[in-house]
Amino acid sequence: MSISGLSVAYGPIKALDGVSLEVAKGEIVSIIGANGAGKSTMLRTVAGLLKPLTGTILFREREITRQRPDRIVRQGICMVPEGRRIFPNLSVKENLELGGHTLRSRELKTTLFDMVLRTFPRIRERLTQHAGTLSGGEQQMLALGRALMGNPDLLLLDEPSMGLSPLVTQETFALIRRINEEKGISIVLVEQNAHMALDYSHRAYVLETGRIVLEGPSRSVKCNPAVVDAYLGFEEE
């Protein structure tokens, strides 16, 4: 995926101002920054939920800027939104089935369903359970599984550690890496936990007030003094 000169506004307030970035095939790219920097806005724009003022978004060398969300999903981009947004009154199985609603092939749906259950064995044990009764970590697994049911080549993950304990956060990020390595799925990771984001990604961008101010290999970004002071220092005590 390639984003070039992307600007997005909420009324008179510009949330993104000329953002450009690249995500290579099979790569995990993290986006870090303070609350209100525009991280979630960028993901929502890529997913078609927001319309940009200017800029272009290319995926597989085809422009998808301003396309409807359902068309973007069909082209291979799925999003796990902040707060997971599962359907609490539906069963786990029904939530997963909704993730594959854009697919026409019954055989592909079955293959993906089996793959999700192998990837998340805890979800397999709770297929008939109402999704709202799952723990926070299990709900995150379900949200990831639902996105995988869309057969994506690119996953957009918005704050996957939100509301999770440190132990469950570690488990969740291990699953994210496993999905990337075993399935070859590219991932854009927006995450407030900068340490985890930088540890589990290949490259990183730092977003401040709607603009990219730093980019590079995650290891290099993690060692940058400005990043340490702004996002990592409090965890180094």
The reply to whether 8 falls in a domain is yes
User: What pLDDT digit, counting tens, does each position of 72-119 carry?
Assistant: 998 999 998 887 788 888 999 999 988 887 788 888 888 898 888 888
The reply to whether 148 falls in a domain is no
Q: How many domains does the chain have?
A: 1
Q: Give the domain extent around 209.
A: 1-76+155-164+185-237
User: What pLDDT digit, counting tens, does each position of 28-52 carry?
Assistant: 999 999 888 999 999 999 999 999 9
User: What pLDDT digit, counting tens, does each position of 136-146 carry?
Assistant: 888 888 988 89
For the beta carbon of residue 27, count every other beta carbon within 10 angstroms: 17
Counting beta carbons within 10 angstroms of the beta carbon of residue 15, is it exposed (0 to 12), middle (13 to 18) or buried (19 or more)?
buried
**CATH number reported for the structural domain that contains residue 19 in this entry:** 3.40.50.300
Give me the long-range contacts of 103-111 (CB less than 8 A, separation at least 24): 103/149, 103/150, 103/151, 108/151, 109/149
SS (HEC) of 119-155: HCHHHHCCCCCEHHHCCHHHHHHHHHHHHHCCCCCEE
Structure tokens at 9: 């506004």
Alpha helices (H) in 33-102, listed in sequence order: 39-46, 69-74, 92-99
Percent of all residues in the chain with a pLDDT value above 90, rounded to a whole number? 55
